Amino acid sequence: MLTNERATRTERLLLVANEMMTAARTAPKGKGIDIIEVALATGGTIGLLSESMLEYGAKTGLRFITRDALDILHAEAIVLIGTKPQPHGLNCGYCGFDSCDAKAQFPEVPCSLNAVDVGIAIGSACAVAADHRVDSRVMFSVGRVALELDMLPGCNNIYGIPISCSSKSPFFDRTATLPTK
């Protein structure tokens, strides 16, 4: 039997995506409180994200979101990682308030430990991609639009990590053109 690498590319990439989700889930979390949510977008969901990003880019005038909307069409999967808002009761002041009670009057202001937790989860997921030599890029733009679409309900801080295993990373030296398959 002879199997061409191209014939199993998507299958292998999805195995890595699942390992990335596991790494995000098991990443260390502040005070051991698990407020991380992780999901995998593939196929038509990537198309929906791209279309919504084009609309969001046009609405906000943020051209990088339009560029990223075209770039993710080169991805075979996108790992979404977000965090639910929850103060940790440390009164650390990192959020800009003297105490968690003072911050509670402004629930839209995230607890800085939530942001650290999502960052550690992203780093763990990206390390798995790197270990498998899978191309990836952390994209705020994908997460911002995933938030608009309520893809991770209850989360207020979401990032997307599109992944690909092609001969050249579509996420660097970007030209924002439609993919050719």
Identify the CA nearest to 75 among candidates 135, 122, 145. 135
Asked if 82 and 24 count as a contact pair (C-beta separation under 8 A), the reply is no
pLDDT level of residue 174 (50, 70, 90 thresholds): low
Give the span between the Cα atoms of 58 and 81, in whole angstroms. Answer: 25
Tell me the pLDDT tens digit for each residue of 69-95. Answer: 999 999 999 999 999 998 889 999 999
Phi–psi pair at 33, nearest 5 degrees: -85, 120
pLDDT level of residue 177 (50, 70, 90 thresholds): low
CATH for the stretch 23-164: 3.40.109.10
* Global confidence as pTM: 0.91
Place of tokens 């038509």: 44
Mean pLDDT, range 23-34, rounded to an integer: 94
DSSP assignment of 69-80 equals HHHGGG-SEEEE
The CB density around residue 168, as the number of other CB atoms within 10 Å, is: 10
Side chain identity, residue 141: S
Give the span between the Cα atoms of 83 and 104, in whole angstroms. Answer: 17
Q: Retrieve residue 61's tokens.
A: 């005038």
Tell me the pLDDT tens digit for each residue of 123-154. Answer: 999 999 999 999 999 999 999 999 999 999 99
Query: In the predicted model, what is the mean pLDDT of the chain?
Result: 92
Q: Retrieve residue 62's tokens.
A: 């943020």
Share of the chain above pLDDT 90, in %: 81
Question: What is the domain partition of the chain in residue ranges?
Answer: 23-164
Tell me the pLDDT tens digit for each residue of 43-60. Answer: 999 999 999 999 999 999
3-state class (DSSP) for residue 172: coil
What is the signed CA dihedral for 3, 6, 10, 13, rounded to 10 degrees?
90
